[in-house]
Each structure stands twice: as structure tokens, then as C-alpha cells.
Amino acid sequence: MTESTDPWNIGTLNKTGIWTFYWVSNFFGFFLDATLIYFVCKNTKRSASDVIVCGLVFACAVLSTSCGVQCMINMIADRFVGGDIACRAESVFHVTSVVAEFFCCAALFVNMTYHVVYRRILKPLHALYIVLGMYIFCLLVTISLSFVSPIYLMSAGTYCFFAFSSPGIAMWLVPCLVLALFIMGINFYIVVRHLQKQVATTPPPVSLHHLGNKNDSRIFVNRNQVWKDALGWRSSLFIIGVLAGWFPAIPCCLYEFAFGRASEGLVTALGVTGVSFSWWAPLIYAITSPDYKMQLLNLFRCCKKPQWVERLEVDSQKDSTSRSIPRNRPSQNSVDRQLVSKTTLSSPVPAVTHDTEPESAISLSLDPCFPVGPPPLDASSILMVESPDFFAPNPVVS
């Protein structure tokens, strides 16, 4: 009886349970987004990728705040609270934040190509200007389309959104989603293809264990292969996250064009995956960034930072000329001397010193998504690392 007379209390699903999931997920995502922004802002050596990632999670935080607060109030009142004003405000916040997420994800991949393929570095300040420009553009377009797009409470009665057949969705959000996925896929292919060519032209990692102690766990690896694996891992997670989070918007749009308003199941699926993306993004960051993962865990005091991470943080602060290869090795023959000499000339491999304790000859970037320094894309880029464990979870060579 109440649903038939109150336009703000509709739907047949368990709205209390759905609202509970929404506000819990949104507040959890907001916490992760805020901690990520804090740690990146605290880092004095932040890169352009850091700034763009902050733009991405800030959009997630805006979505989480507007949706989480509204859903908590709705759950308490057992109906949608706020009427038409709250409905329109929630819809504008949602669409603006979602499209901004698409633009930031695309910008990450464009910056990756600009950096790895063209070997140019975007300044963090310029990246900040780009992010701010994208936010202003998304907000202005969304507000403009809100005057010509119907906005109403979805059929499930849990949240408000633009009509899926309206210009705000069919001509703005969905095309931006498709465009972002296209840009991400193209740039991912270009970078991986570029690094694959570098790996193919690099001689195989010649066995040089006889240069040192045979019981030493050190191995020789190709830097370009490390970059290829690390970038492939990170890029794949971001593409999967965007697809899983917002792809349901496309079937909702098609359904509404064909049959009328989207069904309760479709709009609920879109809401579940959409709010989940607000905590997927910082978790992807944590998975691919050992530094942020340790800072996040230390925030909860769940674990102690491993010794190898502390050692890498110290090594990463040293100049590349101060890193060294252990001296405890027998004399090389002429072939070995030529290989080492060629490697030293073609890539920034550490010079030989006489340290008592052997140090790692690799410096790992703690950049969250993509590298900071230009990759050593040379035909003989062979370097020494101390343990295969350093590649978990796919760190990046600086």
C-alpha cells in the first residue's frame, strides 16, 4: 500500500539490505581513498602518475560520500529521503564522478605511453592541471545535460540516476566508458608491444653464475622483461576493474531503449558494481605498490615492514653511481669482460666497488601504477638482482 502511494518508496527487493551494502561499501571505499590520497600527498617524490591516481580515487571518494550518506539516511527512514532536490543532486554527483573516473583511468594509460615509449616525463604540476581540467569539464557537461535528461528514482527504489535512455547516459556516460576502455586498450597494446620488441632484441640472460659464488641466489634478468611483466599486471587490473565496475551501464541503457525503464535487477547490479569500484581502485593500487601496501598495513599495525623492503627504500635513495656489484668473484675471461663492459656502457649498471657487504644492484620504484624514470631500453640491458622475491608483486625498475 505504501509503495503505491509514495513515489519515493518503490521497489520489491530488500531495500534495507541493499542500502546497507551500499553505505558500508561506500564508507570503506572512502576510507581507502582518503588514506591513499594522504600517503601520496605525504610523498615528496610523487610523480605524475601519483597525481592522476589521486584524481581517480578523489572521484571515487566523491561518489562514495554522496551515495553513502544518502543510502544511510534512506536505510534509517526506510524510504528515499530528500525528494526531488536530493534525487537530482545525487544523480549529478554520480555521473560527474563516474565520468571523471573514466577520464583519469584513460589519462593513466596515456601517461604510461608518453613515458615508456616516448621516454618523456610529465611534471606532477602539469598532471594536476590536467586532472583539474578534466573535473571542471565533466562537471560542466553533466550539469548542462541534467536540464535535458530525465532524473528519477530507479525502479529498485534505492538510488537516483539519469534515465538510461537520456542524453546524460546514452550520449555522455556510456560513450565516455567505451572511449576510456578503447584508449586504455590501445595504449596498453602499444606499450607492451614496444617492450616486447626490446626484449626480443636483447640477448638472452647469459649464465654468469660462474663469475661469483655458485651458491649465491643472485640471478641475471632483463630489465625490459621486468617492465613488461609489471606494466602488464598493473594495466590488466585497471582494465578489469573499469569493466567490472561500470560495464553493466551498457545493458541498462540497451534495455531501457528496447523495453522501457531498466529492471530492478539491472539497476541493482549496476549499483553494486559501481560502488564497489570505489574500493577496487585503491586496492589495485595496494596490490601493485609494495610501499603503499606496507603503509596501509602499518596503519592497522597488522604487520612489520619486511627487511628487504626497508633495504630497498634505502637503496632507492642512493645515486645510481653509488650502487655496487659484489667484488667476491674470480677473474673473467675476455668474453666475460666484453659482456660486462658492454652492459656498463649501454645501461646504468652500478660500478664495481669494494664493499664488504654485497648490495643489491637494483632500485625498485615505489610508484603506484607506472614507472617514474625512463626505462633502460637498450639491446643489452642485463642487470643483477638479489632475489626473485623482489618481483612480488611485480615491482618496477627505476
What are the structural domain ranges in the chain?
2-299
Among residues 32, 54, 393, 372, the alpha carbon closest in space to that of 232 is found at 393
- Cβ atoms within 10 Å, residue 117: 16
Mark 232-268 as b/e (b = at least 16 C-beta within 10 Å): bebbebbbebbeebbebbbebbbbbeeeebbbbebbb
Query: For every one of its 398 residues, what pLDDT tens digit does the chain have, with 9 covering 90 and above?
Result: 344 578 899 988 899 999 999 999 999 999 999 988 988 888 888 889 889 999 999 999 999 999 999 999 999 999 999 999 999 999 999 999 999 999 999 999 999 899 888 888 899 999 999 999 999 999 999 999 999 999 999 999 999 999 999 999 999 999 999 999 999 999 999 988 888 887 666 555 544 444 455 555 555 555 666 666 666 777 888 889 899 999 999 999 999 999 988 999 999 999 999 999 988 888 888 777 767 777 777 776 655 555 555 555 565 565 444 544 444 444 444 444 444 444 444 444 443 333 333 333 333 333 434 443 444 433 333 333 333 332 333 333 33
CA 33/CA 60 separation, integer angstroms: 7
72 contacts: CB under 8 Å, gap ≥ 6:
19, 23
Query: CA-to-CA distance for 288 and 392, rounded, in angstroms?
Result: 9
Type of residue at 287: I
Cell of 380: 643489452
Which phi and psi (to 5°) does residue 358 adopt?
-65, 140
* Cα 168 from Cα 53, distance rounded (Å): 25
Query: What is the Cα–Cα distance from 120 to 337, expressed in whole angstroms?
Result: 33
Extended strands (E) in the chain: 151-153, 160-162, 219-222, 324-325, 351-352, 364-365, 382-385, 396-397
Cβ(53)–Cβ(40) under 8 Å?
A: yes
Instruction: Tell me which residue of 121, 119, 113, 114 sits closest to 191, measured CA to CA.
Output: 113
Alpha-carbon gap, residue 13 to 202, rounded angstroms: 59
Is residue 151 classed as helix, strand or coil in its secondary structure? strand
Asked whether the CA dihedral 108, 109, 114, 117 is positive or negative, the reply is positive
Instruction: Strands of 91-224 (E only): list them.
Output: 151-153, 160-162, 219-222
Architecture of domain 2-299: Up-down Bundle (1.20)
pTM across the whole model: 0.71
Residue 121 CB neighbours (<10 A): 16
DSSP type of residue 360: -
Are 115 and 122 contacting, i.e. CB atoms less than 8 angstroms apart? yes
How many angstroms separate the CA atoms of 71 and 21, rounded? Answer: 9
